[in-house]
Chains A and B, each alone.
Chain A
Amino acid sequence: MKGQVVLVSRLAARDLRRRPVESLMVLLVIAAAATTLTVAFALSGVTNQPYQQTRLATAGPDVIAVEGGGGGRGPAQPVSSAQLAATVASLTTAPGVTAHSGPYPTSLSVIRFRGHTVDVVAEGRDRAPASVDQPKVTQGGWIRPGAVVIERGFADALGVHVGDNVRLGGRSFRVAGIAVTAAVPPYPSSLCHIVCSFPVPRGSFGVPNMGLVWLTRSAVAGFAGSGSNIGYLLNLKLANPAQAPAFAAQHPGTFTWQSIQSAINALIGIEQVALAFGGWLIGLLALAGLGVLVGRRMTEQSKRVGLLKAVGATPMTVAGVLLFEHIALALAAATVGLVAGSLIAPLLTGTGAGLVGAPGAPSISVSTVIIIAVIALAVATVSSLVPAIRAARTSTVSALADAPRVPRRRPMLTAVSARLPVPLLLALRQLSRRPRRALLNAISIAVTVTGIVAILANYAHISSANLTISNLKVDRLNELTAIITVMLIILAAVNTTFIAWATAADGRFSSALERALGATAGQVTAGLSMAALLPALPGAIIGIPLGIEVYHLLGSGTPLTVPPAWQLAGVFLSTLLAVTVLTAIPSRLSARRPPARILQTE
Chain B
Amino acid sequence: MISMRPVLRASGLCKTFGSEAALVRAVDGVDLDVATGETVAIMGPSGCGKSTLLHLLGGLERPSAGEIELAGKPVTDSSERALAHLRRSAVGFVFQGFYLMDELTAIENVELPGLLAGRSPRAARARARELLEQVGRADRAEFLPSALSGGQRQRVAIARALINRPMIVLADEPTGNLDSTATVEVLRLFEALHESGQTLVIVTHEQRVAATADRLISMRDGVFVDEMRMTGGSRGDLGQLIGLGGE
Interface residues of A (CB under 8 A from B): 404, 406-410, 414, 418-419, 422, 425, 429, 432-433, 510, 513-523, 594-597, 599-600
Q: Which 4 A-B pairs have the closest CB atoms?
A: A518-B88, A596-B55, A520-B84, A596-B60
Interface residues of B (CB under 8 A from A): 51-52, 55, 58, 60-62, 80-81, 84-85, 87-89, 93, 95, 99, 101-105, 108, 111-113, 115-118, 121, 124-125, 144, 146, 160, 164
Chain A contacts for B121, CB-based, 8 A:
418-419
A598 to B55, CA, bound (A): 12
Contact B81 A518 (CB under 8 A): no
Residue of chain B at shortest CB distance from A411: B105
Chain B contacts for A404, CB-based, 8 A:
102
A418-B146 CB under 8 A given contacts A432-B103, A520-B84: no
Contact B103 A422 (CB under 8 A): no
Chain A contacts for B89, CB-based, 8 A:
518
Distance of A257 from chain B, by nearest CB (Å): 70
A510-B81 CB under 8 A given contacts A419-B121, A425-B115, A516-B93: no
Contact A414 B117 (CB under 8 A): no
Contact A414 B88 (CB under 8 A): no
Contact B80 A520 (CB under 8 A): yes
Contact A517 B108 (CB under 8 A): no
Contact B84 A515 (CB under 8 A): yes
Chain B contacts for A422, CB-based, 8 A:
115-116, 118
Distance of B220 from chain A, by nearest CB (Å): 19
18 more A-B contacts (CB under 8 A) besides A515-B87, A594-B55? A404-B102, A407-B103, A408-B103, A409-B103, A414-B104, A418-B125, A422-B115, A425-B115, A432-B103, A516-B93, A517-B87, A517-B113, A518-B85, A520-B80, A523-B116, A597-B61, A599-B60, A600-B51
Q: Can you identify 28 A-B contacts, CB atoms within 8 angstroms?
A: A406-B103, A406-B146, A407-B102, A407-B103, A409-B105, A409-B144, A410-B103, A414-B103, A418-B115, A418-B121, A418-B124, A429-B101, A429-B103, A432-B103, A516-B60, A517-B87, A517-B93, A518-B85, A518-B113, A519-B84, A519-B88, A519-B116, A521-B81, A523-B84, A594-B55, A594-B61, A600-B51, A600-B55
Contact A514 B116 (CB under 8 A): yes
Contact A596 B61 (CB under 8 A): yes
Chain A contacts for B84, CB-based, 8 A:
515, 518-521, 523
Contact A522 B116 (CB under 8 A): no
Distance of B15 from chain A, by nearest CB (Å): 10
Distance of B229 from chain A, by nearest CB (Å): 29
Contact A520 B85 (CB under 8 A): yes
Chain B contacts for A521, CB-based, 8 A:
80-81, 84
Residue of chain B at shortest CB distance from A510: B101
Chain B contacts for A594, CB-based, 8 A:
55, 60-62
Chain A contacts for B164, CB-based, 8 A:
518
Chain B contacts for A520, CB-based, 8 A:
80-81, 84-85
A346 to B95, CA, bound (A): 64
Distance of B77 from chain A, by nearest CB (Å): 16
Chain A contacts for B85, CB-based, 8 A:
518, 520
Chain A at the B interface: SS class: helix
Distance of B80 from chain A, by nearest CB (Å): 5
Chain A contacts for B99, CB-based, 8 A:
513, 516, 599
Contact A418 B87 (CB under 8 A): no
For B89, B93, B105, B117, the residue with the greatest tally of chain A CB atoms inside 10 Å of its CB is: B93
Chain B contacts for A522, CB-based, 8 A:
80-81
Residue of chain B at shortest CB distance from A518: B88
A515 to B58, CA, bound (A): 11
A510 to B101, CA, bound (A): 7
Chain A contacts for B81, CB-based, 8 A:
520-522
Contact B124 A516 (CB under 8 A): no
A404 to B124, CA, bound (A): 28
Chain B contacts for A515, CB-based, 8 A:
60, 84, 87
Residue of chain A at shortest CB distance from B108: A414
Chain A contacts for B111, CB-based, 8 A:
418
Distance of B211 from chain A, by nearest CB (Å): 26
Contact A599 B113 (CB under 8 A): no
A422 to B62, CA, bound (A): 24
Distance of A588 from chain B, by nearest CB (Å): 12
Chain A contacts for B102, CB-based, 8 A:
404, 406-407
For A418, A432, A514, A518, the residue with the greatest tally of chain B CB atoms inside 10 Å of its CB is: A518
A521 to B84, CA, bound (A): 8
Residue of chain A at shortest CB distance from B52: A596
Chain A contacts for B105, CB-based, 8 A:
409
A406 to B101, CA, bound (A): 9
A519 to B55, CA, bound (A): 16
Distance of B219 from chain A, by nearest CB (Å): 17
Distance of B145 from chain A, by nearest CB (Å): 9
A517 to B162, CA, bound (A): 11
Chain A contacts for B118, CB-based, 8 A:
422
Residue of chain A at shortest CB distance from B117: A518
Residue of chain B at shortest CB distance from A425: B115
Distance of A409 from chain B, by nearest CB (Å): 5
A325 to B111, CA, bound (A): 44
Residue of chain B at shortest CB distance from A410: B103
Residue of chain B at shortest CB distance from A594: B61
A521 to B81, CA, bound (A): 7
Contact B95 A599 (CB under 8 A): yes
Residue of chain A at shortest CB distance from B95: A599
Residue of chain B at shortest CB distance from A514: B116
Chain B contacts for A517, CB-based, 8 A:
87-88, 93, 112-113, 116, 160
Chain B contacts for A433, CB-based, 8 A:
103
Chain B contacts for A597, CB-based, 8 A:
61
Distance of B146 from chain A, by nearest CB (Å): 6
A513 to B60, CA, bound (A): 10
Chain B contacts for A600, CB-based, 8 A:
51, 55
Distance of A323 from chain B, by nearest CB (Å): 29
Residue of chain B at shortest CB distance from A524: B84
A517 to B116, CA, bound (A): 8
A386 to B95, CA, bound (A): 35
Distance of B113 from chain A, by nearest CB (Å): 4
Distance of B232 from chain A, by nearest CB (Å): 33
Chain B contacts for A414, CB-based, 8 A:
103-104, 108
For B61, B103, B124, B125, the residue with the greatest tally of chain A CB atoms inside 10 Å of its CB is: B103
Distance of B218 from chain A, by nearest CB (Å): 22
Residue of chain B at shortest CB distance from A418: B121
Chain B contacts for A596, CB-based, 8 A:
52, 55, 60-61
A521 to B60, CA, bound (A): 11
A410 to B101, CA, bound (A): 13
A121 to B80, CA, bound (A): 76
Chain A contacts for B117, CB-based, 8 A:
518
Residue of chain A at shortest CB distance from B62: A594
Distance of A160 from chain B, by nearest CB (Å): 68
Distance of B68 from chain A, by nearest CB (Å): 14
Chain A contacts for B115, CB-based, 8 A:
418, 422, 425
A425 to B104, CA, bound (A): 13
A594 to B105, CA, bound (A): 27
A510 to B108, CA, bound (A): 14
For A410, A425, A514, A596, the residue with the greatest tally of chain B CB atoms inside 10 Å of its CB is: A596
A21 to B17, CA, bound (A): 27
A521 to B115, CA, bound (A): 16
A418 to B122, CA, bound (A): 9
Chain B contacts for A409, CB-based, 8 A:
103-105, 144
Chain A contacts for B58, CB-based, 8 A:
516
Residue of chain A at shortest CB distance from B80: A521
A599 to B172, CA, bound (A): 12
A600 to B47, CA, bound (A): 12
For B60, B80, B87, B89, the residue with the greatest tally of chain A CB atoms inside 10 Å of its CB is: B60
